[in-house]
Amino acid sequence: MPGTLTDLVKNTFLVFGALFPIVNPIGNTPIFLELTRGISSRARTVLARKIALNGLALIVTSTFIGTHILAFFGISLPVVQVGGGLVVIATGWSLLLRSDDDGSDGKGARREFNEDNYSRQAFYPLTLPLTVGPGTISVAITVGANRPEGSEWRWPLIAGMLLGSVLISASIYLSYRSAERLGRTLGDSAMNVVIRLSSFILVCIGVQILWNGLSALLRSVIH
- How confident is the model at residue 148, as a pLDDT? 55
Tally of CB atoms within 10 A around 50: 19
Phi, psi values for residue 97, rounded to 5°? -95, 0
- How confident is the model at residue 105, as a pLDDT? 43
Peptide bond into 30 cis (omega under 30): no
- Indicate the SS3 state at residue 114: coil
Residues 176/32, Cβ–Cβ less than 8 Å: yes
- Nearest C-alpha neighbor of 103 from the set 16, 188, 210: 188
Q: Rounded to an integer, what distance in angstroms lies between the CA atom of residue 211 and that of residue 85?
A: 8
- How confident is the model at residue 152, as a pLDDT? 55
- Estimate the crossing angle of helix 155-177 against helix 179-222, to 10 degrees: 130
Give this prediction's pTM. Answer: 0.81
Q: Name residues of the chain where pLDDT drops below 50.
A: 103-112, 149
